[in-house]
Structure 1
Amino acid sequence: MDTPTTLLLAGKNETPIWGMSSATRITRIAKAYQPKPDETGVIVADTRFAFDPQWYAWIAARPGAVLTLGGRPVLANVSRERAEAVRSAIDADSGSWAEGLSATAYEDGITIYNAALRKRERPFLIELIPANVRAIERASYFGAYKGVTDLLTKYLWPEWALVLTRIAARTGMTPNFITTIGAALCVWATVLFWDGHYWTGMAAGLAFMVLDTVDGKLARCTITSSWWGNIFDHGLDLVHPPFWWYAWGVGLGAHGLALAPDVFWTVMGVMVGGYVLQRLIEGWFIHVAGMHIHVWRKIDTDFRLITARRNPNMLILFVSLLFSRPDLGLLAVTGWTVLSLIFHFVRLLQAIAARRRGAALTSWLSDGSAA
């Protein structure tokens, strides 16, 4: 793999992580990072350490800075003229690398706000030795997790998905391959719901939902995200839920629980319309506030756990199956869709009002407030 001209690798390390060498991983990070026009220095990275990609962006924005762990340099942003000398000093474990550089110790506890994953955290930085591989992969995996998501994704299957992500990485599976398997399961679940085979459909849907976590984590952990992968994954996520709800409604007939035609079409109109409107509100909020609606205040983050998205809705439907009343489950999801829509619409109006008053709209995750 060609190394970017803005990266120099120091040290030697044969310990693999996520099925690849440290040098390959760091090179992928450097290629994925898009430097700003004023970031013309060279990043010297020690392959004897594994770090979250956020640290690469952090150091790239700080000319003359070096990030250390235990007093040892991990990442340094230096001029092209001095880059080779710094790399040689790091290779030789010589202290001359520090000349003219401003050191920041990882132990100082710096935190970074990750806007893409909607969370504030202290990204991982660990020495890459065989004894630390599982801990590093775990830190890398959970570092790729969104801080703001639904309760099932956050609490129920992170450990399952971690095991599957490790297997996928070690066997050379690509994120798009995982997404393709998930897409097949998604279609199968739709057919099963249509025929009223709700429990089997639930199993297929659960497998799909777990793989929907795995493909994204695999892409981030192996640094193999792609334009098509993002379109494929997010497009599937965006399109399929209304088909599930419609199929569920059709399948009620197989259980003698079919809704009256006027009720059925009202339910479908509310659920599909509410789903679309909620997505539009989220987009409008980003236009107004420059951030996702779910990260404005802590109440928005907490509500994201249960808002009427696919996973919380599936939990409602699962409970209805326990009582053999999938019809009431569908009606409950319809009602919850309306309540969630009202909540988000009110939050949008509040943001618009705040903007008109001249108030600054910032995320509680970025500014540390919980108001």
Structure 2
Amino acid sequence: MSGTIATAAGPVRLIGDNATPIWGMTNAERCRRLAESAGKDGAAVAPGHELLFNLDFVFDPMLLREVLGQPGLVFAWNGVPVVGQAPLGRDPMTASVVDLADGRKLYNRQLRKLEQPFVRDLTPATRREIERRSYFGAYKGVTDLLTKYLWPELALWLTRGAASIGMTPNMVTAIGAALCIYATYLFAHGQYWTGMLAGFIFMVLDTVDGKLARCTITSSKWGNVADHGVDLIHPPFWWYFWGVGLGSWGLALSTQTFALVMVAVIAGYILQRVIEGLFLKDFGMDIHVWRRFDSDFRLITARRNPNMAILFVALLAGRPDVGLVALAWWTVISLAVHAVRLAQAYRTHRSGRPIVSWMEEPVP
């Protein structure tokens, strides 16, 4: 398969050959998709340069983003080039080489984590391990407790199954969206346990579609819009209709209490999103990666998954009404924490100190 191919990012030179499949495709196809995806996102090879991919290896996609941003940069493993942007017709090892075999860590801005980028030789014996490593490599380093610790193995099994039968991420998103709407209906009628089950499956699929897109390099603009749109919109509806369904249990909140709870959960949710948006706009990064405290707080902050954990515990105790009130209080507390952190960031910025993630380490 050695040779040069044209892609949206520019010329790509494939080194070697490899018949071992990865996520249902050849490594050459995976590399082509990576270059096409980067090109569609606006990245381009510098004049007089070419991308190079060594088909003997599978690597973390973040390495491609790094080399596209630095003409002449080549990542190697034990002296063997893996991926880089090298001058046309030149020996890649005469470029600016960073050998990742030394164990160095890089900051993955897209996934908000500091880690050693994944590089592995692709053989039939290593394929399953590579799929596992690339799957977990697609996980955000800063996320909630459930996504990080509870269902990664289940989502891996589902992601592999979806890839093996040719399902697209958009298909998974559509199934998840249907379950999300069904859970909302069940909550409204007080069928909390069935609604929890539908919601749980949706929450897992919400992980699967993103991992499937990253592992098979099949992300799309409208797929991202649909996925993030569902994520953004549905939580307040879940909490509202959970409150509506309390009447079926004889535990309906008073009109005044229900109104206060809804103001807390809906306004709190919206304002937290506004704070996150302001932080991203003004400082160019997610609020949850500024300091280690922010990353740790993201594990339990009042987003959908931690809130569902609160409701689950309350449901076990037979008090879904108490769960909703506790959710409202936790939302207010989380909002206060984020508001304080935003104010502290502005104060730090005004003092002349840079706002930099605690995980960020520049590539030498």
Asked if Structure 1 and Structure 2 have the same fold, meaning a TM-score greater than 0.5 normalized by the shorter chain, the answer is yes
Match of 1:58 in 2: 66
Q: Does 1:21 align with 2:26?
A: yes
Residue of structure 1 aligned with 2:314, choices 320, 328, 349: 320
How far apart are the structure 1 equivalents of 2:6 and 2:286?
35
Change (3 A) 1:76 1:148: closer
> 2:178 aligns to what SS in structure 1?
helix
Match of 1:90 in 2: none
Change (3 A) 1:107 1:367: closer
Consecutive unaligned residues of structure 1, counting only runs of 5 or more, are 87-96
Residue of structure 2 aligned with 1:196, choices 190, 212, 216: 190
Q: Does 1:186 align with 2:180?
A: yes
Q: CA deviation at 1:288?
A: 2.8
Change (3 A) 1:255 1:228: same
Change (3 A) 1:39 1:246: farther
Between 329-338 and 32-41, report the one with greater CA deviation. 32-41
Match of 1:302 in 2: 296
Match of 1:220 in 2: 214
Change (3 A) 1:19 1:153: same
Match of 1:172 in 2: 166
Q: CA deviation at 1:252?
A: 0.3
Aligned residues: 353
Consecutive unaligned residues of structure 2, counting only runs of 5 or more, are none
Residue by residue over 1:110-131, the C-alpha shift from the partner in whole angstroms, topping out at 9 and shown as x without a partner, is: 3221111111111111111011
Between 307-316 and 62-71, report the one with greater CA deviation. 62-71
Amino acid at match of 1:51: F
Residue by residue over 1:188-242, the C-alpha shift from the partner in whole angstroms, topping out at 9 and shown as x without a partner, is: 1001101100001000000000000000000001111110011000000000001
Amino acid at match of 1:20: M
Correspondences of 1:217-296 after superposition (within 5 Å)? 217-296=211-290
Match of 1:78 in 2: 86
> 1:73 aligns to what SS in structure 2?
strand
Is residue 11–residue 45 contact of structure 2 (8 Å, CA) maintained in 1?
A: no
Amino acid at match of 1:68: A
How far apart are the structure 1 equivalents of 2:347 and 2:101?
42
How far apart are the structure 2 equivalents of 1:244 and 1:260?
19
> 2:128 aligns to what SS in structure 1?
helix
> 1:147 aligns to what SS in structure 2?
coil
Residue of structure 1 aligned with 2:51, choices 25, 43, 51: 43
Match of 1:92 in 2: none
Change (3 A) 1:130 1:158: same
User: What's the TM-score once normalised by structure 1's chain length?
Assistant: 0.91
Q: CA deviation at 1:65?
A: 4.1
Residue of structure 2 aligned with 1:331, choices 315, 325, 331: 325
Q: CA deviation at 1:317?
A: 0.2
Match of 1:118 in 2: 112
User: What's the TM-score once normalised by structure 2's chain length?
Assistant: 0.93
Is residue 288–residue 351 contact of structure 1 (8 Å, CA) maintained in 2?
A: no
Match of 1:68 in 2: 76
How far apart are the structure 2 equivalents of 1:62 and 1:305?
34
Change (3 A) 1:192 1:52: same
Identical pairs, percent: 56
Is residue 271–residue 335 contact of structure 2 (8 Å, CA) maintained in 1?
A: yes
Q: CA deviation at 1:66?
A: 3.4
Between 299-308 and 34-43, report the one with greater CA deviation. 34-43
Match of 1:138 in 2: 132
Amino acid at match of 1:45: F
> 2:125 aligns to what SS in structure 1?
helix
How far apart are the structure 2 equivalents of 1:354 and 1:326?
42
